[in-house]
């Protein structure tokens, strides 16, 4: 769950990712190539828990169940989905932007089009409208 948040991955990437021994990864998400590098700890966790062998729908359902239980037990303030984790990462990354150029870079990292990123931000009330 924390890797989906840290990297802003779509859950579907888990079924289309190749991870090399050195931790570098390459995968496909909605037709886009996603590349990066995992730490040794992250690699160990991914391979030990077998998440790459699960269908994305199973991972999504499991995360909703886990977070719903945590919410019910008062350990988190709301239940959330895999995509909520992605939106949270994007929102944090956008909030750290100091100028339009940085915003464009963050947007390209996650979406084909800036307007999609802007919709995320509007939905989460991040943008201040004048």
Angle CA 57–58–59, to nearest 5? 90
Question: Edge to edge, what strands does the sheet with 17-19 contain?
Answer: 17-19, 24-29, 32-37
Say what the pLDDT of residue 124 is: 54
Distance CA 16, CA 33 (A): 10
Task: Tell me the CA distances in angstroms from 113 to 97, 108, 118, one per residue in order.
Answer: 17, 7, 9
Give φ, ψ of 4 to 5 degrees: -60, -40
Per-residue pLDDT of 52-108, as tens digits, reads 888 888 989 999 999 999 999 999 898 888 888 888 888 888 888 888 888 888 888
């Amino acid at each position: 769950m924390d890797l989906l948040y840290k990297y802003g991955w779509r859950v579907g990437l888990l079924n289309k990712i190749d991870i090399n021994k050195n931790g570098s990864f390459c995968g496909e998400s909605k037709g886009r190539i996603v590349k990066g590098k995992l730490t040794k700890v992250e690699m160990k966790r991914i391979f030990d828990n077998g998440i790459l062998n699960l269908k994305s729908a199973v991972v999504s359902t499991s995360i909703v169940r886990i977070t719903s239980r945590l919410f019910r037990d008062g350990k988190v303030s709301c239940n959330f989905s895999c995509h909520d984790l992605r939106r949270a990462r994007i929102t944090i990354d956008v909030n750290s932007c100091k100028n339009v150029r940085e915003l464009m870079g963050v947007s390209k990292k996650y979406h084909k089009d800036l307007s999609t990123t802007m919709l995320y931000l509007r939905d989460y009330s991040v943008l201040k409208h004048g």
